Structure 1
């Protein structure tokens, strides 16, 4: 079951179906047919522009991220695909707060739908810090098929981990 570590918590019949597709060699072609395109956002600047555009479209009143970048040091085994950090600093007599969004470098290789899903996830953290009902409602507001994309990303990660 360790080869399916990204699918823990999903119903057993769904996990078994993915395992059958993986064992028969049909999972890769299925994912390629479902998501044929490759992500074109390869630089940190392009990623920043992409995130800013989505933020302006859906979260106009949320604070602007000070930095957005790909990060090759995120722990994929622990499940960290993106982070949203907040740093508070005192400048003069004012307290300045800035946040950074870091996306795992592997998203340069994924279909654009998966990059969109993880960006939506991190942008939702600008409003909701916890993974609660309001957080997932915000994700679904920005990306209506958020939950399906999250599952498909986990399937893609499972295929990638299997080699």
Structure 2
């Protein structure tokens, strides 16, 4: 007998992880999905078996996990105070704020020293660190673009930073490469993937098989980097 009351259930993923969801049965013909601050809610027809519901939503698992991650990070925030952790090139770095007459940011191994004339102003500290990260990102990205341009035999005209809300990189007909500065938080292999992706577009302005062949020439494991970036993306947007 099918339970018509809203039911808390668990969806088992191929990776072994579980997603909790609330199943609500209604007098309807289709399955509806909603992800909000309470988690995943599935609206389903009254008579459809649970096994069939989970079979039908399987193609949406990536979307569901991405939306759940975004909801989780809406509850997260960085406290711009001494002891807080951020990431630079995939490594954990500890913030160390100190009151000063001047403003400066300096990294010493796993410590990021932030001297600020407004030590209790978290917005000010966030802006200082973001500005420093952008400067570091541009230097790092330009160097990587130079290396991979040689490997792909392409000639980009310039490299710029991007502040896009949903794209990690882009290129245009002027051969300009734009890279989201927040990528400086990610491990190097993920930055390399985004850069190679955009440089490959200088040969193939599409996502055809030939395009992916160009990427694979220099990054044989690009698929795992692409998947990892999707998982990390919401965390990278906690800054800025």
Helix, strand or coil for the counterpart of 2:136?
coil
Structure 2 equivalent of residue 59 of structure 1: 152
Q: 1:17 to 1:129 in 2, by over 3 A?
A: closer
| Higher helix content, 1 or 2 | 1
* Count of residue correspondences: 129
Greater relative contact order, per chain length (Cα 8 Å cut-off, separation 6+): 1
Structure 1, unmatched stretches of 5+, are 5-9, 24-34, 88-98
Change (3 A) 1:2 1:157: farther
| Higher Rg of the two aligned structures | 2
Give structure 2 stretches of 5+ with no counterpart.
Answer: 1-33, 40-57, 72-88, 93-132
Cα distance change of structure 1 residues 17 and 80 upon mapping to structure 2, 3 Å threshold? closer
Deviation for aligned residue 1:107: 0.6
Counting only pairs closer than 5 Å after superposition, residues 131-150 of structure 1 correspond to structure 2 as: 131-150=207-226
Q: Does 1:47 align with 2:141?
A: yes
SS in structure 1 of the partner of residue 143 of structure 2: helix
SS at the partner of 1:42? helix
- The 1:2–1:42 alpha-carbon spacing in structure 2 relative to 1, beyond 3 Å, is farther
1:101–1:122 contact (8 Å) kept in structure 2: yes
When the two structures are superposed, what TM-score results if normalisation uses the length of structure 2?
A: 0.44
Q: Secondary structure at the match of 1:86?
A: coil
1:46 CA displacement: 3.4
Shift of 1:68: 0.8
Give how far 1:2 is off.
4.9
8 Å Cα contact 1:69/1:102 also seen in 2 = yes
Q: What is the alpha-carbon distance in structure 1 between the residues aligned to residue 65 and residue 214 of structure 2?
A: 30
**Structure 1 consecutive aligned stretches of length 4 or more whose deviation exceeds 3 Å:** 1-4, 10-23, 35-38, 158-163
Task: Note the alpha carbon deviations across 1:74-94, whole angstroms, 9 max, x for none.
Answer: 2x2xx321110123xxxxxxx
Is the strand fraction higher in 1 or 2?
2
Aligned-residue Cα RMSD (Å) equals 3.5
Give distance in 2, aligned partners of 1:116 and 1:150: 10
TM-score, with normalisation over the residues of structure 1? 0.62
Correspondences of 1:145-156 after superposition (within 5 Å): 145-156=221-232
